[in-house]
Amino acid sequence: MNPFIYHNPTELIFGKGAIAHLADKVKTFGKRVLLVYGGGSIKKFGLYDNVISILAEQGCHVVELAGVEPNPRLSTVYKGIKLCRSEQLDWILAVGGGSVIDASKAIAVGVKYDGDVWDFYLRNAVPQAALPLGTILTLAATGSEMNRSSVITNWETKQKLGVSTTFPAFSILDPEYTFSVPRDQTVYGIVDMMSHVFEQYFTHTTEIPLQSRFAESILQTVIENAPRVLENPHDYDARANLLYCGTMALNGTLPVGVETDWATHSIEHAVSAVYDIPHGGGLAILFPNWMKYVYKENVERFKQYAVRVWNVDPEGKSDEAVALEGIARTREFFNKIGAPSRLADYGITDEQLEVMAQKATPFGPIGRFKPLEASDVHAILQMSL
């Protein structure tokens, strides 16, 4: 196990009726609020009205930024920064999924920065301050509600980049708010949270039994609850389990003392920067192919994954055969829940493979399990067609 420092200041408020705590947060952070949300789904099931009512009861001045994109755009972030400055707002409340929260994080650090917020994503500057941010989560997926990561797309340059920005001060998670999530978005969320675990599980770091079992238990819980949610979207307990898995998959618990990878996310960011496909859909296509490309770097780790997560029987099989069976089970599960398996499912051909390979590696090789050059990325993309 490697040395580590672990710190997560986000207050997690979980369960039915958790939104009642919002009034107290207004008293803490102020009455001038930027309310950020996406395409308007929060209005269909009453969450918007509930939030507005609570803020109004507290005498808040609310400025709205609606229409945050599934792959949040830099142009939208600029709008939010301008609103915060012109209206002299105290804090930001993000209501939605990971994209809304990511955009809000970028706005929060951008308001406190004299330069262009895109500097952070190009790694030309590091955030030093931020407006306070609170979140109300409506989708089990990214874990953005309890980490400092933010991924933004610059549509002008066709770049999708992530960086560490700011932790939410608090996050409200009510499983009932995920009841109305469409089936495809639920599937993408399932893939996303599993992919986050993969990025932190496949490592060469040794003597990490607790971290490994944390990761394996999250994967097992997702695998057990995914069919329940897809069969009955209003299954409160299954929704709650997935919601908490999504948070725990990326709140800093899994990577303590562990060298993590993140190559596949970089590849998917390049694909969706060019083609604007759903993040979870891209990961479902790419991850099993990344696994097949790199598993020989540490066959034992992949064998452990196959046995512990998918209950593959190793009796009479080589370590490599067990590892490959685990990878095959991963693809089978993604297919079973209705995730895409080929880039062709989104109409993507080999036309832009080299472009995407270069965009995935703007700062050099990616990943640590097996460092990938642009040529490696190209090969994985080719496998994914």
What band does 41 get if pLDDT is binned at 50, 70 and 90? confident
pLDDT per position as a tens digit, 139-195 = 999 999 999 999 999 999 999 999 999 999 999 999 999 999 999 999 999 999 999
Global confidence as pTM: 0.94
Q: What 3-state class would DSSP assign to 278?
A: coil
Buried b (16+ CB within 10 A) or exposed e, 340-379: bbebeebebeeebbeebbebbbeeeebbbbbebebebbbb
Per-residue pLDDT tens for 278-312?
A: 999 999 999 999 999 999 999 999 999 999 999 99
For 213, half-sphere exposure in the C-beta direction (CA atoms, 13 angstrom radius) is 4
**What is the token pair recorded at 239?**
């929704």
Q: Which domains does the chain have, with CATH numbers?
A: 11-177 (3.40.50.1970), 183-383 (1.20.1090.10)
What does each C-alpha distance from 242 to 21, 98, 257, 284 come to in angstroms? 22, 15, 25, 17
- Tokens for 214, please give them: 């944390």
Residue type, 3: P
